[in-house]
Amino acid sequence: MVKASAPGKLMLFGDHAVVYGHPCVVTAVSKRIEVSVAEYERNEVCIDTPGVNDHSFIHAVLSRVSSLWCLPRSIRITVRSSFSGAYGFGSSSAVTVALIKALATYTSRAISDRELFLFALDVVLSVQKVGSGFDVAAASFGRTLLYKNKGEIIEPLPWKDIRLIVGYTGVKASTVEIVREVAEKRDHHPEQIDLLFNRMENIVWQAKQAMKENNMPWLGELMDEHHSLLQTLGVSSEKLDSLVLAAKRAGAFGAKLSGAGRGDCMIALVSKEREEDISTAIRLAGGEVVFVAFDEEGARLEV
Ligand code: PMV
C-alpha cells in the first residue's frame, strides 16, 4: 500500500488578479488530504471516499494516468480528509496532487515536485476550466509561495512570526462561478478592472518586501488596501465585510477576504497580545474561527 498527502491552502494576496497573469501569495495550511492506493481483490478500480461526493478530479486523474502509466486494474483508492470542503481550503487540488503522487509511487515512478505540479494543473484545469493553479502549486510544493502565471514564478517566501486568524463565514462560495462573473465584468469594463488588478499586483510586490522585513504593520495595511480593492471588484459580501471590520476594531494589523470571495474565509493578521480578543470579535460577528497552521509542507508520502 502507498499513502500520500497534500495540504490545503489560503490565498494571502493577489486574489482574482492571479487569474490574469498577475502574481499572488499563497500559503499551505495544516489541513491535509490523504490518499492511499492498495491492491484490490476484484478486477476493478474501487474508489472509497467517505464524505467526498465529487469524484470528478479522481476520475480525471485516473483517465490520464491509466493511458500514460499502465495502471493495474485491481486497485482500491481511499481518500481521507482532515478538512471540510466547505472552508474553501482547496480540497480538489489537494486530492488531485495527493492521488497523482500516490499513483506515481505505486507504479514505481519518480516524480519531481515540478512534474507533479504540472500534471495536477493539467488535470484540475481539464475539470474546472478556469483558475490560476495557485492552489495546485500550494498542494505540490507547500510552504508560502509567490506564484505567477501557471508556474512561471514559484518562489518560496519567508514566514516569520506571522500570526493569522482564519474566520469562516458559514457560506460556501463557488469559486468557478465568481471567477466567471469577474471575467464578464472585465469584458465589459477592461480598463477599470485591469486598474484594480494592477494595484493588487503592486500590493503583492510590497507584501513580499514586508514579509522579508517581518514588518507586520505594513503587511496589515496592505491587507486592508487589498480588501477594499476586492470590495470594489464586487466579490466581497456583508458577512465577509462584517468579520473583517470586527477583526480590525479588535486591533488586527489588517484583514481581508481570502480567495474568490462572497463566502468561505477571511483572514486577519494579529499580534500575540491581541489574538484572543480578535478571535472573540470574529465569533461575536458570527464567524467560525478555524484553527490551522500555515507555511506547511507540500505533497509527501506517508508511512
Ligand atoms: O476561492 P479559492 O480559495 O479557491 O480562491 C480562488 C482564487 C481566485 O484567484 C479567485 C481564483 C484562482 O484560481 O486563482
What mean pLDDT is predicted for residues 187-201? Answer: 98
Query: Where in the chain are all domains bearing CATH 3.30.70.890?
Result: 163-290
Report yes or no: 53 and 40 within 8 Å, Cβ to Cβ: no
Q: Cβ atoms within 10 A of the Cβ of 183, count?
A: 14
Report yes or no: 65 and 71 within 8 Å, Cβ to Cβ: yes
Q: How far is 253 from 248, CA to CA, in rounded Å?
A: 7
Helices (H), the chain: 56-69, 91-106, 113-128, 134-141, 175-188, 190-213, 216-233, 238-249, 275-284
Q: What pLDDT is recorded for position 50?
A: 79
96 or 53, greater pLDDT: 96
**How far, rounded to the nearest angstrom, does the alpha carbon of residue 258 sit from its chain's CA centroid?**
9
Whether the pLDDT of residue 5 is over 70: the answer is yes
| Ramachandran area for residue 84 (φ above 0: left; ψ -120 to 50: alpha; else beta) | beta
Q: Is the CB of 15 under 6 A from ligand 1?
A: yes
The atom number, within ligand 1, closest to the CA of 10 reads 3
For the stretch 16-29, pLDDT in tens is: 999 999 999 999 99
What is the residue-averaged pLDDT of the chain? 96
Residue 127 CA, ligand 1 centroid: distance in Å: 15
Q: How far is 61 from 211, CA to CA, in rounded Å?
A: 36
Residue 200 CA, ligand 1 centroid: distance in Å: 14
Cβ neighbourhood burial of 284 (10 Å; 0-12, 13-18, 19+): exposed
C-alpha cell belonging to residue 75 = 486497485
Residue 64 is given by DSSP the state H
Report yes or no: 294 and 28 within 8 Å, Cβ to Cβ: yes
For the stretch 258-268, pLDDT in tens is: 999 999 999 99
CATH superfamily of 163-290: GHMP kinase, C-terminal domain (3.30.70.890)
Whether the pLDDT of residue 51 is over 70: the answer is no
The atom number, within ligand 1, closest to the CA of 16 reads 9
Residue 77 CA, ligand 1 centroid: distance in Å: 27
Q: Is the CB of 134 under 6 A from ligand 1?
A: yes
The atom number, within ligand 1, closest to the CA of 261 reads 1
The DSSP line for 113-168 is HHHHHHHHHHHHHHHHS---SHHHHHHHHBSEEEEEGGGTEEEE----S--EEEEE
Residues with active-site annotation: 135
Whether the pLDDT of residue 86 is over 80: the answer is no
* 301: enclosing H helix or E strand: strand 300-302
Query: Where in the chain are all domains bearing CATH 3.30.230.10?
Result: 2-158+295-302
Predicted TM-score (pTM) of this structure? 0.97
Q: Is the CB of 88 under 6 A from ligand 1?
A: yes
Report yes or no: 243 and 169 within 8 Å, Cβ to Cβ: yes
| Closest to 268 in 3D by CA, of 150, 131, 280 | 280
Whether the pLDDT of residue 84 is over 90: the answer is no
Q: What pLDDT is recorded for position 104?
A: 97
Q: What pLDDT is recorded for position 87?
A: 81
Which CATH number is associated with domain 2-158+295-302? 3.30.230.10
112: Cβ–Cβ under 8 A, 6 or more apart, which residues? none
144: Cβ–Cβ under 8 A, 6 or more apart, which residues? 12, 25, 26, 27, 28, 156, 157, 158, 159, 211, 294, 295
Q: What pLDDT is recorded for position 205?
A: 98
For the stretch 199-252, pLDDT in tens is: 999 999 999 999 999 999 999 999 999 999 999 999 999 999 999 999 999 999
Q: What pLDDT is recorded for position 10?
A: 97
Residue 57 CA, ligand 1 centroid: distance in Å: 17
